[in-house]
Structure 1
Amino acid sequence: MTTDWLIACLMGLGKLFLHPLLYVSIAYCLFIGYLRVKRERHDFTTKIYSFSMELRSMLPQGLIGGLILSFLTLATGLAIPLAAMPIMAVVTVLAILSMKKRFVSPVYTMGLTFFILFFLYDRDIELTLFQDALNQLDRSVYPTLVILMGLLLIAEGFLIVANGSKKVSPHLEVSKRGQPIGVYVSQRVWLIPMFVMIPGGQLPAPFEWYPVFTIGDMSLSPIVLPILIGFKQKVHGTLPELAIKAQGKKVGALGIVITVLATVGYWYPPLAIITVVLAILGREFLHHSQKAMDQKLPFYFSKSKLGVQILGVIPQSPADKMGLQKGEVISKINGVVVREEEELYRALQINRAHCKLEVIDNNEQIRFVQRALFDGEHYELGLLFVDDQLKESGQVG
């Protein structure tokens, strides 16, 4: 029995590479990376991260969540109807085409799938591609879909906390008063490949090789289901790491509440419908409340009276190796007080072989940083600034 399960799971995992959503996800990540690099070059005349950065973070983080969720679904025998799979894939593609990354979330994709199944149940509607799966729907409400949505919402919160604040991209905008300000944009796409159970008798001909297992009086088959999770958050009122992790914790907490309600709804199906509505409204509330809260805060990255504030640091640059961080303020270079970007460059010329910086960190503590410079490095430290002389573009330090 155990061997059959393992063989079924391995064969199912291989089917992931035949799923069109995998390749749609790859193309989506590359497109997001292309747009980000284009924006970075426009703002700072250089790219900050590789255009494949989003692609490289898509699957590794999602595999952990997929492994945990697969264990839970296989251990509990959590089954979803076969019809949910193609409908969810179509809904996910439509969410991608909307270019709103937050809509590529299980709250919206699975929530909409739930209501589509509810609408299609026992109706005389002909859908050629999905007709066999729709004919096998045996109920109007599937609480297991809502339970799975809650679990995926918890996974989304975990991914936001663990990965959403890494390698965030700086961006330049103009405030309502016409002053350039710095903002940070986090955008991620995670693919969670996980196993779910579907009623064994529902598998059509292309899947006849799947083994059928019996749990109680129910026949079930494991099948791999790729879940795409999209995330985007813009931050201008605080350090992005703080704001993004706080948002991820709220999303995870919402997922716990939804999972509890969905579990109760397993025995009281009408509650499942209410739970889906609450999940969508809750996720919308978290998005808009975070946006409103951030807009009320003063601009974190703007012109500073204490010196020249660092908007960003290019990876592997001299500034990165010196340990300089976004949000810190350079108040002195080689003993010279600096308040403008031009003053910073002039101060660097005092000693072209070595620079000593007095930095006010994000805890408002003064620290000293020094490093030997090689030819050309005093022109390319790898620092990004918000230059009050520029309205539409940035400058690399």
Structure 2
Amino acid sequence: MIGLGKLFLHPLLYISIAYCLFIGYLRVKRERHDFNTKVYRNTMELRSLLSHGLIWGLLLSCLTLASGMTIPLAAMLIMAGVTILAVLTMNKRIVSPVYTVGLTFFILFFLYDRELKLPILQDAINQLDRSIYPTLVILIGLLLIAEGFLIVSHGSKKVSPQLQVSKRGQPIGVYVSQRIWLIPMFVMIPGGQLPAPFDWYPVFSIGDMAISPIVLPILIGFKQKVHGMLPEQAIRAHGKKVGALGVVITALAIVGYWYPMLALITVILAIIGREFLHYSQRAMDERLPFYFSKSKLGVQILGVIPQSPADKMGLVKGEVISKINGVIVREEEELYRALQINRAHCKLEVIDNNEQIRFVQRALFDGEHYELGILFVDDQLKESGQVG
């Protein structure tokens, strides 16, 4: 139990916590600049850091332990260093395992069987074996599958709205999803002895074999910007492609156990494939017309503040408010005036994302969010937004 408790001394855990807090701070700062209010709490990214990755950590731990996959200590140390460097770039996308584990693979490939003197890693490097290569590639494939599922299930939730100016000088709304997930998975270290300062890790004996199950914190970074369609649709579609890529890479990595050269090719394909998915998604989104812009049908909802009257009425992003209290609204000022007709109650005519008309109404109470809590693209302000 003492050893398990000290597993939380891994520096990546606390680096990821600080990283999430910093991301949340920047997001809230941008939201306040655009809308004069924050949309989500600054701890939103932190709350999803570990909670969403625990299940995948358990699944991957069972797979690695049941299959007998071992990862040398040198690979873990280099992987941790590469991940820290990726975090310092402040590019969430580069924190993806396909890059951190992939770069670790190439570093080990270069260091193997070379007469280099590395004071810290030399003992660990001397214990390397060529069997590490397909193991790392399988790990990349499994983590790509996990990344795809996390993007589909959680990447499309609580995405942050943002205002931008188009090339024609018109304000448009975009959505940005950025997440950092921590997957804590246990892997086996070959043998039972770990050098200092890792001698406090637990060591178990099964017959004559000693194994050291050690925690391997894997960070998965994700960022996607969407302006051409509803963010939920675009992000989920992208996540499914990432998961499919992970299945292909895992299958190729398994075959790589018998054909070692295939392991090297598979890592290259994984990195190229992940880059292709990123740039193809961005290119496709740029070809689409702006989804969130001025609408001739009324005032389009860019976002809804949680727990606001608009949220409790079931209004969602992308819908268009055509009437308030029986008054046709096309502009921001018309929306304000229509709300003043009855400050205790409002009735809205809404065109939903399926272009169907529906009616919603609700009483308004003192102390609730200013007006309704709707975020929209303001045509009067080219670089900032207003809250309706």
- Normalised to the residue count of structure 2, the TM-score between the two structures is 0.96
Percent of matched pairs sharing the same residue: 83
Structure-2 change in CA distance of 1:13 and 1:208 (3 Å):
closer
Structure-2 change in CA distance of 1:13 and 1:279 (3 Å):
farther
Q: Residue 113 of structure 1 aligns to which amino acid in structure 2?
A: T
Map 1:76-225 onto structure 2 (within 5 A). Answer: 76-139=67-130, 142-201=133-192, 203-208=194-199, 210-213=202-205, 220-225=211-216
Conserved? CA contact 2:71–2:132, under 8 Å: no
Q: Residue 42 of structure 1 aligns to which amino acid in structure 2?
A: H
Q: Does the alignment pair 1:15 with 2:37?
A: no
Conserved? CA contact 2:377–2:385, under 8 Å: yes
Deviation at 1:112, TM superposition (A): 0.2
1:160-202 Cα distance to aligned partner (Å, 9 max, x none): 0110011100000000000000000000000000011121155
Decide which of 279, 286, 296 is 2:277's aligned counterpart: 286
Task: Show the counterpart of 2:344.
Answer: 353
Deviation at 1:250, TM superposition (A): 0.5
Deviation at 1:379, TM superposition (A): 4.2
Counterpart CA distance in 1 for 2:273 and 2:373 is: 41
For structure 1, which runs of at least 5 residues remain unmatched after alignment?
A: 1-9
Deviation at 1:141, TM superposition (A): 5.5
Counterpart CA distance in 2 for 1:130 and 1:259 is: 28
Structure-2 change in CA distance of 1:320 and 1:65 (3 Å):
same
Task: Show the counterpart of 1:41.
Answer: 32
Task: Show the counterpart of 1:66.
Answer: 57
Conserved? CA contact 2:193–2:212, under 8 Å: no
Deviation at 1:100, TM superposition (A): 1.0
Q: Does the alignment pair 1:54 with 2:55?
A: no
Secondary structure in structure 1 of the residue aligned to 2:330: coil
Conserved? CA contact 2:72–2:128, under 8 Å: yes
Counterpart CA distance in 2 for 1:308 and 1:355 is: 16
Task: Show the counterpart of 1:312.
Answer: 303
Q: Residue 135 of structure 2 aligns to which amino acid in structure 1?
A: T
Secondary structure in structure 1 of the residue aligned to 2:314: coil
Q: Residue 110 of structure 2 aligns to which amino acid in structure 1?
A: F
Secondary structure in structure 1 of the residue aligned to 2:179: strand
1:235-285 Cα distance to aligned partner (Å, 9 max, x none): 000010000011110000000000000000012111000000000000000
Q: Residue 138 of structure 2 aligns to which amino acid in structure 1?
A: I
Conserved? CA contact 1:117–1:140, under 8 Å: no
Q: Does the alignment pair 1:375 with 2:366?
A: yes
Q: Does the alignment pair 1:336 with 2:347?
A: no
Conserved? CA contact 1:118–1:141, under 8 Å: no
Task: Show the counterpart of 2:315.
Answer: 324
Structure-2 change in CA distance of 1:264 and 1:11 (3 Å):
farther
1:214-252 Cα distance to aligned partner (Å, 9 max, x none): 69x975431110000000000000010000011110000
Structure-2 change in CA distance of 1:252 and 1:347 (3 Å):
same
Secondary structure in structure 1 of the residue aligned to 2:49: coil
Conserved? CA contact 1:169–1:184, under 8 Å: yes
Q: Residue 211 of structure 1 aligns to which amino acid in structure 2?
A: V
For structure 2, which runs of at least 5 residues remain unmatched after alignment?
A: none
Task: Show the counterpart of 1:5.
Answer: none
Deviation at 1:211, TM superposition (A): 2.3
Q: How many residues align?
A: 387
Q: Does the alignment pair 1:269 with 2:263?
A: no
